[in-house]
Amino acid sequence: MRADHCRAAPPRLSFRTHELPDGALEGLELIDLLAGRTDVCSWVHERHGLIGLGRVLTVEARGDERIEALRTAWRSVVGAAWWRDALVRPGTGPVALGAITFSPASELASVILVPEVLIGRDDDGAWLTTVMSAASEGTEPEHPDPQALIKTLVARARTALGQEHAHGGSDPDEARAAVEMGALSEEQWCRAVADVQERMHSGRARKVVLARDVLTYPSAPVATGTVLRRLTADYPSTWTFAVDQMVGASPELLLRLRDRRLMSRVLAGTARRRTGEDALATARLAAWLEGSEKNNREHELARASAITALEPLCSVVEAPARFVLTLPNVLHLASDVTGVVAGDTGALALVDALHPTAAVCGTPTPAAARLIEEAESMDRGRYAGPVGWVDWHGEGEWCIALRSAQLPADGVGPHAPARVFGGCGIMPDSDPVDELAETTAKMRPVLGALGVLP
């Protein structure tokens, strides 16, 4: 459904949230419930978050006003809905998940969608929300029994997990996936970096974030849920997301809004870790990163852009000293920016104000965006765009779709490739070959989850 149609005639949806008793998931993690499934949603961080199955509604928008169009469409959906929610805490009641394109000119639509079933978990326990379309106005549909539904979902997940385990252990010599270059070859991409640097030296921009893509064809079909489970196992400290087959494990939280309090994590400045690196080597690498003039300049530009975007919308903005974030494959310079939102500004309005950050676009933003269009020779789609969730009163969590891939609608396989992305911040003194290696390192999480890497 187009966003303007949704605003004019919103569907009538019924949401019902039930608290799940302790032990209802029978020892399974949230992400395990997605095993073997393709039409799924995910927002999982350190075992907590939300997972969705199926979908009741998909709303699409394009162009410069796409985020605002989705925001107003969601408000219309909430206004026409009814729900029962005894918990009333973040992630319960009416919730939509969304994925927004990096560029307003993208051919791909930005979307918010409502799953048929949403299961959440936080420090206080787990819950289940079912969503149904009303047959007629004023008549609430009958929802499935939550206890019976969760038993069915757990049983199906156990069966799928057993099949995955049996298949995974049956062929140790399974062929690796085939990988093809995307819009540019490695040599062409390095030349594009050098061309952008020439324009930067002439004063067109101070920083430009360039990305590239590859296409990968797994030798056997891989369910979206399987990709997500592998990402969660290998990168538990990231936000493992999936919305409309845009999947990834992002370390960069664009924003969390709860009780008017905002937090945004800015990442810019990267050092690659070697496989099997010990603690001493990691500490030395962190010290190098903290002292790197190029990486500190790159980080400060990204940090300043987030603060500038948030200050008009917040009564207070604070940005403590940056720190080094350690991930299995890379180190990042990171800053956690916090604030108190003024008035009733919601999460999607904040997403609109923040995107695109200097961490994924560059500085100044308009000039960097033009250089990206000229240099990359591709449509990023939802790569480096916002992805996350919003609830019935406008709060939620959104990250930037990094360490990510766009999967085909019916799942990735030998004849249906995944499009995998990696990017990095280009400064005037960057080394194109070194930046190419950084994009490869950032592709590793998703390539590994797709079976490309050992």
Catalytic residues: 207, 252
What is the DSSP code (8-state) at residue 223? -
Q: Residue 402 and residue 421: Cα distance in Å, rounded?
A: 8
Q: Residue 273 and residue 254: Cα distance in Å, rounded?
A: 24
> Inter-axis angle of helices 365-376 and 186-201, to 10 degrees?
150
Q: Residue 454 and residue 452: Cα distance in Å, rounded?
A: 7
Three-state secondary-structure class, residue 292: coil
Smallest Cα–Cα separation from 353: which of 96, 71, 42? 71
Tokens standing for 410? 């019916």
Q: Residue 316 and residue 126: Cα distance in Å, rounded?
A: 33
Tokens standing for 419? 């499009």
What is the DSSP code (8-state) at residue 40? E
Q: Which residues contact 152 (CB under 8 A, 6 or more apart)?
A: none
| Cβ count near 201 (within 10 Å) | 10
- Rounded to 5°, the CA angle 362-102-246 comes to 130
In which region does residue 245 sit, left (phi positive, over 0), alpha (psi from -120 to 50) or beta (all else)? Answer: left
- Enumerate the β-bridge partners of residue 313: none
Which ranges constitute the DSSP H helices of 90-246?
Answer: 146-170, 186-201, 224-234
Sequence letter at residue 228: L
Q: By the 8 A CB rule, do 130 and 120 touch? A: no
End-to-end CA gap in the chain: 41
Smallest Cα–Cα separation from 262: which of 323, 305, 316? 316
Q: By the 8 A CB rule, do 131 and 115 touch? A: yes
What is the DSSP code (8-state) at residue 237? T
Q: Residue 425 and residue 446: Cα distance in Å, rounded?
A: 20
